[in-house]
Structure 1
Amino acid sequence: MSFDLFTGIVRDFRASRKVASEIARLNHLSEAQLADLGLERCDITSHAFNRHFKRR
């Protein structure tokens, strides 16, 4: 059980780094580029979390 907890923590840490990276990448895009992706600037954070943290 402790191994499962540890692997879960590592998995979540990796996912959180991916979220941060994606948020930074998307924040550098223009409004037009975000629109091409079907996003508005206010959607960036939730989009990144939903992509890297599957709803459990």
Structure 2
Amino acid sequence: MKFDFLTGFVQDVARARNAAKDMERMNLMGDTELAQRGLQRNEIATYAFNKHFKRR
């Protein structure tokens, strides 16, 4: 049981790091480039979080 908790925690840390990398990359994009991906600047964090934590 404790091992499952620890494994889940480590996986969540990895997901959070990946989401942060995506947010950083997308924040460097121009508005046109984001629009081509169907995003607005204010949607970056939500998009990255949903992508890496499988919430849709």
Query: Which TM bucket (shorter chain)?
Result: over 0.9
Indicate the residue corresponding to 2:31 in structure 1: 31
TM-aligned CA deviation for residue 54 of structure 1: 1.5
Moved over 3 A (4+): none
Unaligned residue ranges in structure 1 (runs of 5+): none
Q: Are positions 1:17 and 2:13 aligned together?
A: no
Indicate the residue corresponding to 1:7 in structure 2: 7
Unaligned residue ranges in structure 2 (runs of 5+): none
**1:9-53: per-residue Cα shift (whole Å, max 9, x none)?**
000000000010000000000000000000000000000000001
* Cα-Cα RMSD: 0.5
Q: How many pairs align?
A: 55
